[in-house]
Amino acid sequence: MVKVIIVGAAGRMGRQLVADALRDKELDLVGGVVEPGMSEVGMDLGILGGQQPIGITATDDLESVIDKADAIIEFTAPEATVEHVGVAALHKKAAVVGTTGLGSAQIAKLREAAEVTPVLLAPNMSVGVNVLLKALPLIARALDESYDIEIVEAHHRMKKDAPSGTALKLAEVIAQALQKDLDEVGSYGRKGIAPRSTGEIGIHAVRAGGIVGDHTVIFANEAEQIEVVHRAFSRQNFALGALRAAKFVAKQKPGFYSMADVLNL
Ligand code: NAD
């Protein structure tokens, strides 16, 4: 059993992680950390995860519980993440970080921590998306210039940024595989007289209703079409990846890891 603490346990991802960790027979949920001053401090973790009480309450002090764990799973905000990974490193505990928007100085701090403890950083924990990041370059390299490449992503109406970070990452690995610069070949949306040029990678964003996250990559020439589609049904998609990452990272030597290491890609 790998003993884990969910940090950010009151957040959207945190609650999903608590729920899925409680269902996972290879994991033992030994603690949950919430932001100081939040009403969830002292709340039973089972309740936070939408289940029966488990007799372990949420704390706002990682230091007070860290020694019970093998690994922390961190989905909060950049500044808090750096602080929490620092605590994990001090106690030689592994850390899985899902928080996005970390600046380069903050990533450097995580790398510093990784010198003494295993740290895994993955801006997208979805197993499926990480497999796609590996598979798409293979497809792109095998096809010739007659195949046009277009990426269409769809998300819920509340999403602020467009295109999604994942769509950009998918485009980037394809561009790299073709030895092209995405800044030069990326074409974002079309309007009016906008004919396609050879070699461009079209990227389009749909915003509608409650769509959790769809990504479609199209390779098409005049004779055939390949479509690679990934659909996230819920946040569980990310939570299950993060739990798998925790089981992996708890058994590693100090170092800086990614989902590609977890999935042996
Ligand atoms: P959220 O706002 O619902 O939750 C964040 C939680 O962190 C909040 O409950 C907040 O109170 C808590 N928090 C902030 N500071 C804290 C502190 N010092 N100690 C303890 N808790 C603290 O957001 P969310 O949707 O759960 O996302 C959280 C992060 O995870 C974001 O950066 C998001 O982009 C990222 N995310 C990553 C993936 C992935 O696959 N890597 C997937 C989804 C979301």
pLDDT beneath 50, residues of the chain: none
Task: Report d(CA 220, CA 31) in Å as an integer.
Answer: 50
Distance in Å, CA 9 to ligand 1 centroid: 8
Q: What is the pLDDT of residue 241?
A: 96
Query: Does residue 8 have its Cβ closer than 6 Å to ligand 1?
Result: yes
Task: Tell me the domains of the chain and their CATH numbers.
Answer: 2-125+235-263 (3.40.50.720), 127-232 (3.30.360.10)
Burial class (CB in 10 A: 0-12, 13-18, 19+), 28: middle
Active-site residue identified among 84, 93, 109, 155:
155
At which residue do the structure tokens 């690994």 appear? 71
Which one-letter DSSP state was computed for residue 253? P
Ligand 1 atom with minimal separation from the 13 CA: 26
Give, using CA atoms, the residue closest to atom 31 of ligand 1: 99
Query: Does residue 7 have its Cβ closer than 6 Å to ligand 1?
Result: yes
Query: Does residue 43 have its Cβ closer than 6 Å to ligand 1?
Result: no
The length of the chain in residues reads: 265
Please give the sequence-ordered ranges of beta strands (E in DSSP) within the chain, or none if there are none.
Answer: 2-7, 27-33, 71-74, 94-97, 118-121, 148-155, 186-188, 201-207, 214-220, 225-231, 255-257
Please give the sequence-ordered ranges of beta strands (E in DSSP) within 102-241, or none if there are none.
Answer: 118-121, 148-155, 186-188, 201-207, 214-220, 225-231
Task: Report d(CA 56, CA 205) in Å as an integer.
Answer: 42
Q: What is the pLDDT of residue 123?
A: 85
* 159 among known catalytic residues: yes
Please indicate, yes or no, whether the overall pTM of this predicted structure exceeds 0.85: yes
Q: What is the pLDDT of residue 70?
A: 98
Question: 3-state DSSP call for residue 34?
Answer: coil
Q: What is the pLDDT of residue 161?
A: 81
Q: What is the pLDDT of residue 160?
A: 80
Query: Does residue 98 have its Cβ closer than 6 Å to ligand 1?
Result: yes
The dihedral through the CA atoms of 50, 96, 228, 197 has a sign that is: positive
Q: Which residues pair with 28 in a beta bridge?
A: 3
Residue from 5, 7, 12, 13 whose mutation best tests the ligand 1 pocket (most atoms within 8 A of CB): 13
Beta-carbon neighbour count of residue 192 at 10 Å?
4
Give, using CA atoms, the residue closest to atom 2 of ligand 1: 11
